[in-house]
Amino acid sequence: MNLRKIVIAIDGYSACGKSSTAKLVANILGYRYIDTGAMYRAVTLYFMEHHVAITNPKEVSRALQQINIAFVVNSKNVTETFLNGLNVEKTIRSMRVSERVSEISAIKEVRMAMVEQQRKMGKEKAVVMDGRDIGTVVFPQAELKLFMSADLLVRAFRRQKELLEKDRMIDLDDVITNIVQRDEIDTTRAESPLRKADDAILIDTTHVSLDEQVDEVVRLALAKMIINA
């Protein structure tokens, strides 16, 4: 059967399973997975480490020119984020980066630079990209757009468990506060705020297991990939 290559755009709130779903779907379809949140996290880490004055657009633009972000697949077939040649996969998931990332990803110059790179990465299609503005701004022509959400408490439990699996014990209260703050900044910022594209399919993952989510997305993707479907 002839399958065409498509772009799968997955947007949604923080911690509702976008990246876990996107990774597995990409593996099943043999697509590239691009975690755009990791790119904003890497920029945030760089800005923090280099004390970039985020209210100064010239300084922000200069700093952005010094940043090289790459995704490298390791021996366990897990994609890791590299910032200027250094593996920052673990550091960018820390609470100190999570606490600053929404503020920094709201900066116009930061978004323009990241969107340009993301468009290049998805040019050849056959990608699953997750983030906040993929279906609305980065790839408004994506063949399949999904918008994921889930109840706040369920999201917080899942995120806490994920952090625990990485040996990080964070109070549920702190996880909830961070998710609420990020949702607030992500949905109300002036530059490409998080919103569901009109043609995106809404997926509520509150009562759905990861396996079920993945099956559903693969089914939707295949329906778009079958030529003339």
CB of 15 to ligand DC, least distance (A): 7
Taking CB under 6 A as the binding criterion, the range among 2-10, 125-133, 164-172, 203-211 that sits at the site for ligand DC is 125-133
Task: Find the binding residues for ligand DC in span 135-174 (CB under 6 A).
Answer: none
Closest CA relative to residue 58, chosen from 117, 108, 102: 108
Residue placing its CB nearer to ligand DC in the complex, 61 or 187: 187
**Dist. CA 138–CA 15, nearest whole Å:** 21
CB of 228 to ligand DC, least distance (A): 31
Instruction: State which of residues 14, 136, 205, 213 lies at the interface with ligand DC (CB under 6 A).
Output: 14
Residues linked to residue 82 through DSSP beta bridges, in sequence order:
70, 87
CB of 183 to ligand DC, least distance (A): 8
How many chain residues touch ligand DC (CB under 6 A)? 14
Instruction: State which of residues 54, 182, 213, 221 lies at the interface with ligand DC (CB under 6 A).
Output: 182
Task: Find the binding residues for ligand DC in span 55-114 (CB under 6 A).
Answer: 101-102, 105
Instruction: State which of residues 33, 40, 47, 139 lies at the interface with ligand DC (CB under 6 A).
Output: 40
What DSSP assignment string belongs to 85-107?
TEE-TTGGGSHHHHHHHHHHHT-
Q: Between 18 and 37, how does the x/- string for binding to ligand DC read (CB under 6 A)?
A: ------------------xx
Which amino acid is residue 61, in one-letter code? Answer: S
Token pair 């923090």 is at which residue? 48
Contacts 24+ apart (CB under 8 A), 163-172: 163/93, 166/90, 166/93, 168/94, 168/95, 170/95
- Max CA-CA distance within the chain? 54
